[in-house]
């Protein structure tokens, strides 16, 4: 099974 | 700078041979700059290689290489159930940014990768348990055994009943107490690791 982890970061 | 990071991992459904030797696997890293696929930069490579705290997620980095097409291949070791990891990084700049700050870029990139790993870990704590928590888990059988022996061998009925009550048990049987303490300790370690 496929698992997804995501994130965003900005200054 | 702005970063967007996405990990796609696959978990092996066949865990019967999970106790056999751990072999290094390869993580493919794709890099996009302003929505266009580009050659991964040396700053990002360095961040991946030495700044990201992979051990907090139960992973060890063995080698980092870049292919002719600009894709990074990272050799990693981790839990046997973890079959493959694909990492996609997207970097773009705000139009108002005048100065490039490499240290700021490294910080942002590191934070974004760790946040994405944390997102995975919250959903799959068993796959991304830190090295230090794995170390702690090794003491659980001994500690549970010791505590349950202490309780079940006591001649103080009131003390035994009170312990069983705290554990939510009806009996003061050694095996019941040991199994309850084991489950609770493992849960506490997992909860603390997720934090």
The predicted complex's ipTM stands at 0.94
Number of CB pairs, chain A paired with chain B, less than 8 A apart: 66
- Look at residue B24 in the predicted model and tell me its pLDDT: 84
- Look at residue B101 in the predicted model and tell me its pLDDT: 67
| Tens digits of residue pLDDT in B20-72 | 556 789 999 999 999 999 999 999 999 999 999 999 999 999 999 999 998 99
Of A1, A3, A7, the CB nearest to B5: A7
Q: CA-CA distances (angstroms) from residue A10 to B59, B62, B71, B90, B97? A: 25, 29, 23, 11, 12
Name the nearest CA neighbour of B85 among A3, A9, A8, A7.
A3
| Tens digits of residue pLDDT in B121-163 | 999 998 999 999 999 999 999 999 999 999 999 999 999 999 9
- Look at residue A11 in the predicted model and tell me its pLDDT: 66
Name the nearest CA neighbour of B8 among B119, B91, B130.
B119
Q: How far is A4 from chain B (nearest CA, A)?
A: 5
Of A2, A6, A9, the CB nearest to B10: A2
Handedness of CA B186, B189, B194, B195 (dihedral sign): positive
Contact B2 A1 (CB under 8 A): no
Name the nearest CA neighbour of B118 among B189, B176, B16, B193.
B193
| Tens digits of residue pLDDT in B167-178 | 999 988 999 999
- Look at residue B38 in the predicted model and tell me its pLDDT: 95
Residue with tokens 């849960």: B187
**Inter-residue contact B159 to B176 (CB < 8 Å):** no
Q: How far is B96 from chain A (nearest CA, A)?
A: 12
CA angle B72, B76, B80 (to 5 degrees): 135
| Tens digits of residue pLDDT in B4-15 | 999 999 998 776
pLDDT classification of A1: cutoffs 50, 70, 90: confident
Contact A5 B7 (CB under 8 A): yes
Contact B116 A5 (CB under 8 A): yes
Of B1, B13, B124, the CB nearest to A3: B124
Chain A residues in contact with B11 (beta carbon < 8 A)? 1, 3
- Look at residue B15 in the predicted model and tell me its pLDDT: 63
Chain B residues in contact with A2 (beta carbon < 8 A)? 8-10
CA angle A11, B3, B4 (to 5 degrees): 140
- Look at residue B105 in the predicted model and tell me its pLDDT: 85
Nearest CA in chain B to A11: B1
| Tens digits of residue pLDDT in B92-128 | 887 655 556 667 889 999 999 999 999 999 999 989 9
Name the nearest CA neighbour of B117 among B61, B189, B40.
B61
- Look at residue B96 in the predicted model and tell me its pLDDT: 59
């Amino acid at each position: 099974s496929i698992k997804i982890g995501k994130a965003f970061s900005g200054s | 700078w702005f970063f967007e990071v996405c990990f796609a991992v696959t978990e092996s459904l066949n865990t019967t041979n999970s106790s056999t030797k751990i072999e290094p696997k390869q993580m493919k890293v794709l890099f996009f700059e302003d929505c266009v696929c580009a050659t991964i930069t040396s700053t990002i490579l360095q961040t991946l290689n030495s700044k990201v705290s992979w051990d907090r997620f139960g992973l060890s980095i063995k080698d980092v290489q870049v292919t002719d097409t600009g894709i990074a291949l990272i050799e990693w070791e981790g839990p046997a159930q973890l079959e493959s990891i694909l990492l996609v990084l997207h970097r773009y700049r705000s139009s108002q940014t005048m100065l490039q700050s490499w240290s700021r870029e490294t910080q942002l990139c590191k934070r974004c990768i760790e946040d994405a790993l944390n997102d995975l870990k919250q959903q799959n704590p068993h796959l991304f348990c830190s090295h230090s928590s794995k170390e702690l888990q090794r003491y659980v059988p001994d500690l549970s055994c010791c505590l349950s022996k202490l309780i079940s061998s006591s001649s103080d009925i009131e003390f035994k009943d009170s312990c069983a009550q705290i554990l939510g048990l009806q009996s003061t049987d050694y095996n019941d107490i040991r199994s309850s303490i084991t489950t609770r300790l493992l849960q506490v370690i997992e909860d603390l690791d997720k934090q």
